[in-house]
Amino acid sequence: MPGSSTASTCPSEGRYQRRDLDETSKDSCPPRVVLSEGTTAEGAEPVDHTDFTAAVDRHYPGLVQRLTLVLHDAEEAKDVAQDAYLRAFQAWDRFDGADARAWLHTIGLRLAFNHLRHRRLWDRWLRSQPRAPSWVMPERVDLWRGIADLRPQQRAALLLSVIDGYTQAEIGRILDAPEGTVASWVAEAKRRLGAALAEELRP
Amino acid sequence: MMGDDHLRSELEALERSAPTDLPPRPPLPARRRGPRLMLPAAVTLAVGLLLGILGTQWLDTIRPPGSSGPTASASFSTAPTPTTSPPVTELRWSVDAFLPESGAQPGAIARVGDRLIVTGSDQDGPAAWYSDDGGADWQRASVIGDRGDQRPMALGNVAGNADRLLSLGWVNVGANDADRRSVLWASTDLGTTWERVPDDALPPRLHDIAAGGPGFVAVGNANPSNSGGPDLDPPHAAVWVSPDGQEWERLPDEASFQLSRINSITERDGMLVAVGSHRVGEEDLPTIWRSPDGRQWSRVELSASPGAVESIAVGPDGFVAVGSSTQGGQRAMAWLSPDGATWTSETLDQMAGGVATGAAVNGLGFVAIGTSTQTVDVPGLVWFAPVGGAASQQDIGADVYGLVGTGNRFIGVGHCGPLADCYSHFLVIGRPVTTTRPDASPGLTGDLVGTLHGDADLETGCAWLVDSTGKRWEILWPEGYRIAFPTGRDPVLTGPGGEIVARAGDVVALNGAPPSGLGSHCMVGELFEATRLVGVQTEGVEP
């Protein structure tokens, strides 16, 4: 799995120090948020961030890949994933510790939707781009194009449902959407994807 | 048949194949690249990012090499712009709300001397505003009468000179939006006060007015009906002249006006040039009319291919007419002429159908505005063609209704539209980007010199400087200075008096030092505590 090896090469910070973003490692690793002596950005009570890396770093490649499909753009996915890590770090003291992956994906997906609102015009250009990226295997080009025709919320809901197996209620909490809306997103995504793939994927 | 299991495996495989470690992009000029970490919410960044990122990576794949059309310099001008060196090839656009507290709905903009005049309407009826400082501060003009009239009504295009201005507007006289008739307002104090011209002498269907000939010349439709309905088909143009804008005389019907539609008119060096279309057989051809006095007109068809000229603007080096060609699909076009007699054409949009509906010219080149004819949910189209260069599409993300060229800027008004993140009417300013200027200008010195960036969505809105090495600095601004997001998108730095000191993309020089013991709020970079604002340099020359 491509992400695993990538994650293992990331430099490990035993303790986060005062913030600074390491540009050289951002392409392959989570952004290094550096905070001195475990203090918070606001100078409030010290918070132990030593386990932040251990908890979330391994989910970084998967988050980038998930956002790549939702945003339909690998480069933008990395931007949003990095931003998600910064937000996660800021909110680390409020994380309940239950499911770091789901928590990280929730932040990342919501940021992705926010990001998409800013680039609607660009999105049209991107979706009009006929060529699939080089990393998409030839046999999955139609699938990639089919995903492009879905709304981003539909893409996210479909992936959370089909790949992750979340219930509609759980997806609703992740995407901050009513359960019925999630159901319609998933159904519509399957229907449109099926149509795009000429009946083959239709359930 | 492929069920959920197969769909799952296919999606998983696709997702797992997505790269998490892409090779670096080809190096781009730092100015156009912008910070990669933060989401580029500011519209001012959008042009640079679109041209720099999408343009480099995507545009090249969409546009065939060398397909960007003939250059604007063919017969227009090859003279260097008098205000910048080297020539400007790129504009940076900033968008600010236009008098958001007034409910203003600007529809047109004009420049008379150093004064900018915006016309349109607000909640109380026809309205106008003026600015004597390049658009920074606006004053409401006095519109005598008509305020409070229940009928929708607005001031529009402005023509004239310091002695007398006319604004061609409209009033709704029926149940439908299309049921409009022409209305004129006149001003003898440079647009500070506007007074309605009596309707009884006024043609009902005017399309544009210009100062010239015996005083003013108006073009429109010969349909004598006062119903204000759509122009008759087949088209039949007419021209009116007036010494003062009060009394109008329709010129005798000429053969050149028949089967024609005249959309726009302007004047330069005593030569009046009107534009529109003329029907030949089954097709309308893009056409211009010229007159030295407003009374005698000659017609020249610009092309044997169908299309229409929608608007004409005049600049220091000649005329720019814009419209569309419908040969093989509709495409936005520009026609350029130094004298109104000889014209060359340039295709503006290379990838999608569009029509250019307006233009503005200054020493940098020309900007055309228009709309897409293929989709309804794409904001208006904007193109910039520098002097001596080809036109390129600009990303403003909204509809621009009116545009004017000043010495070194283009200033427009419009509406963000339903797709953009803002819904207010706006003032948009295009400022030049010199291609050789690095992020941190060598002309400014200080302890920290960097380009202003920001993100309204980060925390409650964060701004930072990017220095010449690409490093981001979150700033603690000197006392009295603060960052605001007046449009919800672009950051601006305001001074102690509330005046706008710098906008996104401007280079800011500060004295100060990184503080100790202080934590950053926005987490975008290292903290810098500024003690003094040394200077600000906007891109290009004009501040």
Size of interface A-B (CB pairs under 8 A): 155
Residues of chain A with C-beta less than 8 angstroms from the C-beta of B397: 120-121
Give how far A3 is from chain B: nearest CA, Å: 6
- For residues B502 and B504, give the distance between their C-alpha atoms in angstroms, rounded to a whole number: 7
Highest mean pLDDT among B55-69, B97-111, B215-229: B97-111
Are A60 and A84 a contacting pair, CB within 8 Å? no
Task: Dump pLDDT digits (tens) for A22-74.
Answer: 333 333 444 433 332 333 333 334 445 557 777 787 888 889 999 999 988 88
Report the C-alpha gap between B317 and B336 in whole angstroms.
10
- Are A123 and A131 in contact by the 8 Å Cβ rule? The answer is no
B137-155 pLDDT tens trace: 889 999 987 776 777 888 9
Give backbone dihedrals phi and psi of B208, rounded to 5 degrees, phi first: -165, 160
Residue B47 tokens, joined = 């042009």
Q: Quick one: closest CA in B to A80, which residue?
A: B39
Rounded Cα distance between B204 and B412, Å, is 27
Task: Give the pLDDT score at B533.
Answer: 87
Q: Do A128 and B62 touch (CB under 8 A)?
A: yes
Q: Which of B7, B15, B58 sits opposite A201 (nearest CB)?
A: B7
Report the candidate in B170, B141, B167, B138 with the shortest Cα–Cα distance to residue B153.
B170
The Cα-based distances of B291 to B205, B315, B358 in angstroms read 21, 18, 21
ipTM above 0.90, yes or no: no
- Calculate mean pLDDT across residues B300-317: 89
- What are the backbone dihedrals phi and psi of residue B79, each rounded to the nearest 5 degrees, phi first? -70, 140
**Nearest neighbour of A162 by CB, restricted to B4, B50, B61:** B4
> In chain B, pLDDT over 70 holds for what percent of residues?
73
How close, in Å, is residue B464 to chain A by CA atoms? Answer: 14
CB-CB: which of B8, B54, B518 is closest to A125?
Answer: B54
CA distance B429 to B340: 28
DSSP assignment letter at B239: E
- Separation CA B240–CA B247 (nearest Å): 10
Residues B319/B325/B331/B333 CA torsion (nearest 10 deg): -10
In A, minimum Cα distance to B47 occurs at A122
What pLDDT score was predicted for residue B311?
96
Chain B residues lying within 8 Å of A158, measured CB to CB: 11
Instruction: Give the chain B residue nearest A131 (alpha carbons).
Output: B61
Give the chain B residue nearest A115 (alpha carbons): B39
User: Is the dihedral angle over the CA atoms B30, B32, B37, B42 positive or is it negative?
Assistant: positive
Mean pLDDT lowest for which of A126-140, B56-70, B133-147, B243-257? B56-70
User: Quick check: B388 pLDDT over 80?
Assistant: no
B472-476 and B526-537 beta bridge pairing: parallel
Interchain pair A2, B19: CB under 8 A: yes
Q: Is the peptide bond before B224 cis (omega within 30 degrees of 0)?
A: no
Contact B22 A74 (CB under 8 A): yes
pLDDT digits (tens, 9 = 90+) for B185-214: 999 999 999 999 987 777 888 999 999 999
CA distance B418 to chain A (A): 11
Is-contact B244 B164, C-beta < 8 A?
yes
Share the mean pLDDT of chain B.
Answer: 75
- When CB atoms are compared, the residue of B1, B41, B421 closest to A202 is B1
Give how far A112 is from chain B: nearest CA, Å.
10
Tell me the mean pLDDT in the region B303-325: 91
Tokens of A195: 């149509």
Contact B216, B266 (CB under 8 A): no
Say if residue A20's pLDDT is above 70.
no
Q: Kindly list the residues from chain A whose CB atom is less than 8 angstroms away from the CB atom of residue B40.
A: 118
What value does the mean pLDDT take over residues B502-526? Answer: 76
